[in-house]
Amino acid sequence: MSYLVLARKWRPQSFEDLVGQEHVSQTLANAIRTGRVHHAFLFTGARGVGKTSAARIFAKALNCETGITPTPCNECSSCLEITAGQGVDVFEIDGASNTGVDDIRELRENIRYLPSRSRYKIFIIDEVHMLSINAFNALLKTLEEPPDHAKFIFATTEPHKIPVTILSRCQRFDFRKIALPRVAARLREISDAEKIRISDRSLALVARRGEGSMRDSLSTLDQVIAFCGEDVADEDVQGLLGMVDRRLLLDIVEAVQERDSRRALDAVRRVDDLGHSFRQFCQELVELYRSVILCKVLDEPADVLQVVGEELVDLQRLAKSAELDDLQRAQTVLMKAEVELVGSSFPRLTVEMALVRLANLPPARDVASLVRKLEDLERRLAGSGGLPAVASPARSSQPAPVEREPFVPPKKSEAPAPSAAGGGWSGLVTQVRSRRPMIASLLEHGSLLKQELPQLEIGFHAGSFHLEQVKDAETFAVLTEMASEFFAQPVNIKIVPIDAKGGQAPPSLLEERKAQESDRKKRLREDALEHPMVQKAIAVFEGQVADVRPIDKGYV
């Protein structure tokens, strides 16, 4: 005799057997009791949650030889045929392989005839969203006014792909994913009936792999039994499924909370040694942090969490010993690391650095304290109208309070009154800038060597770009004309190359300006660092001054 897989052997045979779908079972049972059975139903939901099983149970309830009943006998010939998928008047059609309009036309022809032996002809179309638009259109009229002896049950995982005209003609039932504790409890019943010795911990892993699908969970249990036999060890289940041991995940969370980087890194090494996927490991760690957070914010987290056995106690213990802000921050860091793992060439390093960062982050309470100190400092500065001026150090140990004036950035330093020559040169450059900015930018790199009107001698570094540009005939002519206009007399200009090795030429206007800016910035930094409020801020935040910027230069 061929082996019958657990998912088929333990398929629900009555509404009471539908685990996690009580809202559907109760509605259909009440409709049968009151005689208010619609002619078309749409069952939607994830894979393996009981849609097709519910359709078969409903077909048995309508065609059971004992009468229309919400509890079919499962013993008469009609019930047995439907259970085996061989019902004469129950047609199970795969929408994925019967998508054309011709298939629907054949179905319409079949509907016209009365059932052979049963009360109703029942058409169960699985994955109905796979039908073509023409097939749906061919079905519309029949679906709206079917014969009294016909019932339709559609099942799909993607209801959004079904035309609205079809949806409006059906009663819709949404099947939910089955909670992990319910799946684990059902797996325990089946394991005991099959005489399989397996721990609750392993069943929880199997149920978690199913992700809310009873069929997927039973298929996984079949795989586990085939690998381990009747005695199932926890280590074998973890190795087979490639899942990280929950104890290892809990150890990592504890290590992060205790700021133990070595312990966290050792856990990563064990994950690598076991051959687990670092991305899956990171995903499971994110899910674990979610569970801890829910334990932190909910009084009764068992109704929300997908955990069984003693794991809830461990989660509550971790939640009690951590701050909510720390848990949320850790989850955020791990979610970012999980994204980085997608294209990372160094997955272990990515995970290690994320855990080291979490283990060394200061507690959220310390950060909040620093923020409060900063806000307090801002209020004090705002109340004083700005940074107060630096007061002279008092000689007594208890200095008398001094009245502080608002701090004003030092004004740009006044340069010594320029000589006639220097003033004339800078004035000439300013005049040229107002009309020919490009020529003025060249002159800023030049040094005034001689000004004995009508003679004007300007030096540029030998071989420089600026020298060659000023010597250009057109540029030189414009410069001579503007200089004669500025000095109100004809001027003879001589352009001289300056050899860097032949002595030191007077500084250019650009060099003078840079020297003044450097001196001003130096004085500003010294004034800022000596200010008592700045010194107190450094002490409070244990920091250092990285940069000092003058506020009159447009910085904010």
Report pLDDT for 401.
Answer: 42
Specify the CATH class of 246-360 in words.
mainly alpha
CA atoms within 13 A on the CB side of 195: 0
Q: What is the dihedral of CA 248, 250, 251, 257, to 10 degrees?
A: 150
On the question of a cis peptide bond just before residue 72, with omega within 30 degrees of 0, the verdict is: no
C-alpha pair distances (Å), 522 with each of 225, 273, 518, 538: 78, 57, 6, 19
Interatomic CA distance for residues 9 and 310, integer angstroms: 31
Interatomic CA distance for residues 444 and 428, integer angstroms: 11
- Amino acid sitting at position 207: A
- What number of other Cβ atoms are within 10 A of residue 223's Cβ? 15
The C-alpha angle 467, 469, 472, rounded to 5 degrees, equals: 110
C-alpha 147: how far from chain center: 53
Residue with tokens 């010597």: 471
Non-local CB neighbours of 494 within 8 Å, separated by 6+ positions: 450, 455, 456, 457, 458
Interatomic CA distance for residues 417 and 508, integer angstroms: 17
Q: Do the Cβ atoms of 155 and 127 come closer than 8 Å?
A: yes
Chunk the chain into consecutive blocks of 10 residues (it has 556) and report each block's average pLDDT, rounded to whole numbers: 82 91 92 92 92 93 91 91 88 81 83 88 91 86 87 92 91 91 92 92 88 92 91 85 80 91 91 86 91 88 72 86 88 92 90 92 67 71 53 40 40 38 75 89 88 89 86 89 90 86 73 80 78 75 74 51
Non-local CB neighbours of 250 within 8 Å, separated by 6+ positions: 288, 314, 318
Which H or E element spans position 458?
strand 455-461
Q: Do the Cβ atoms of 275 and 297 come closer than 8 Å?
A: no
On the question of a cis peptide bond just before residue 393, with omega within 30 degrees of 0, the verdict is: no
Interatomic CA distance for residues 18 and 168, integer angstroms: 26
Q: Give the CA radius of gyration of the chain.
A: 42
Report pLDDT for 423.
Answer: 64
Interatomic CA distance for residues 245 and 463, integer angstroms: 74
Q: Do the Cβ atoms of 429 and 509 come closer than 8 Å?
A: yes
C-alpha 173: how far from chain center: 32
Interatomic CA distance for residues 235 and 242, integer angstroms: 10
Q: Which two tokens stand for residue 222?
A: 């079949």
Query: Which of 252, 239, 250, 241 lies closest to 208 in space, CA to CA?
Result: 241
- What number of other Cβ atoms are within 10 A of residue 115's Cβ? 16
Superfamily, domain 6-174 = P-loop containing nucleotide triphosphate hydrolases (3.40.50.300)
Selected from 3.30.300.180, 3.40.50.720, 3.40.50.10090, 1.10.240.10, the CATH number assigned to the domain covering 420-506 reads: 3.30.300.180
Residue with tokens 């519309």: 140
Q: Do the Cβ atoms of 130 and 99 come closer than 8 Å?
A: yes
Q: Do the Cβ atoms of 341 and 351 come closer than 8 Å?
A: yes
Query: Which of 336, 260, 323, 265 lies closest to 292 in space, CA to CA?
Result: 323
Per-domain boundaries in the chain? 6-174, 180-241, 246-360, 420-506, 513-553
What does 63-100 look like in DSSP terms, one character per residue? H-TT-S-SS--S-SHHHHHHHTT--TTEEEEETTT--S
Query: Which of 80, 78, 85, 60 lies closest to 70 in space, CA to CA?
Result: 60
pTM: 0.59
CATH 1.10.8.60 fits 180-241, yes or no: yes
Q: Indicate the pairing of strand 121-126 with strand 150-156.
A: parallel
Interatomic CA distance for residues 333 and 264, integer angstroms: 15
Which H or E element spans position 208?
helix 200-210
- What number of other Cβ atoms are within 10 A of residue 348's Cβ? 15
Query: Which of 200, 214, 41 lies closest to 125 in space, CA to CA?
Result: 41
